[in-house]
Amino acid sequence: MDEQMHKDAVRLANALETLNAHRFVRIHNSTLRLVWYQFLRGLAFGFGTVVGASALVSVVVVFLSQVEFIPVLGELATRIIEEIELGRQ
């Protein structure tokens, strides 16, 4: 039983060494590195959100501009397009 506990302790020590050598853990060991990592992560997230939302809105506006033959949606699409055009000016 004592031999099994020793083997388990050695395996646990090896696993902890591997974990401590991981880049993610090293980043969290330094406050400055962590702040820099989170800053870059926030920039990437914000940029991705803006680009994704712009693409989605563009697709929706193009789709709505093609649906003018349906009376209710056509009027709504026309108003949305007019508002976007006013916003550009």
- pTM of whole model > 0.85? no
Q: Are 87 and 80 in contact (CB under 8 A)?
A: no
Q: Are 64 and 74 in contact (CB under 8 A)?
A: no
**What is the three-class DSSP state of 67?**
coil
What is the token pair recorded at 60?
A: 């929706």
In this model, does residue 46 exceed pLDDT 90?
Answer: yes
In this model, does residue 72 exceed pLDDT 70?
Answer: no
- Please report which confidence band the pLDDT of residue 88 belongs to, taking 50, 70 and 90 as the band edges: confident
Q: Which residue is associated with the tokens 């959100």?
A: 49
Tell me the residue range of the domain where 16 lies: 2-88
How many domains, the chain?
1
What is the token pair recorded at 72?
A: 């209710």
